[in-house]
């Protein structure tokens, strides 16, 4: 089971689906950011699994996964700063109370 690509890809698909559900369903903006991190982790798992099982991709997949990790860190930094900036104005981290921005 641990020696086949399929099991890793299925695991990654389930993880991505959980992250997508959390992003769509949670009310808290920070929970949504955490769900984005879960989805990015799922994508990274897919990349690394392909790199581990497909010979020509061996090193390239790891490099791309490292770049994804760096971009995820940048995304988390800016996302949390935006959440904090909105929180200072609105006094709530719940996204469904941000509807004033629609005007």
Partner 1 sequence: MPIGDTIPLTPVRWEDVLFLALATLLIVSALLVVSLRDIIHCGLAMIVSFAALAGIYVLLGNPLLAATQVLVYIGAISILILFAIMLTQTKNAPARLVFQTQARLAAPAAAAIAVVITGVVLTTTWPAGGERLWTSTTQISTLLFTDYVLPFETVSVLLTAAVVGAVVLARRDPRESALAELPPGPAQDETPAGGEPGGEPGGEPGGERGRS
Which residues from 78-97 bind partner 1, rule CB under 8 A?
Answer: 78, 80-96
For 15-49, b/e burial (b = at least 16 CB within 10 A) is bbeebeebbeebeebebbbebbbbbbbbbbbbbbb
* Site pattern 9..28 for partner 1 (x: CB under 8 A): xxxxxxxxxxxxxx-xxxxx
- Residue 99 in contact with partner 1, rule: CB under 8 A: no
Which residues from 30-69 bind partner 1, rule CB under 8 A?
Answer: 30-31, 33-35, 37-38, 41, 44-45, 48-55, 58-63, 65-67, 69
Residue 40 to residue 18: CA distance in whole angstroms: 12
């Amino acid at each position: 089971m641990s020696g086949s690509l399929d099991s890793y890809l299925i695991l990654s698909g389930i993880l991505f689906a959980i992250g997508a559900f959390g992003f769509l369903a949670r009310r808290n903006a920070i929970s949504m950011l955490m769900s984005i991190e879960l989805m990015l982790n799922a994508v990274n798992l897919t990349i690394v699994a392909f790199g581990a099982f497909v010979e020509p991709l061996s090193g390239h997949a790891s490099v791309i996964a490292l770049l994804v990790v760096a971009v995820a860190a940048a995304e988390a930094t800016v996302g949390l700063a935006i959440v904090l900036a909105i929180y200072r104005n609105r006094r709530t981290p719940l996204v469904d109370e941000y509807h004033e921005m629609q005007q």
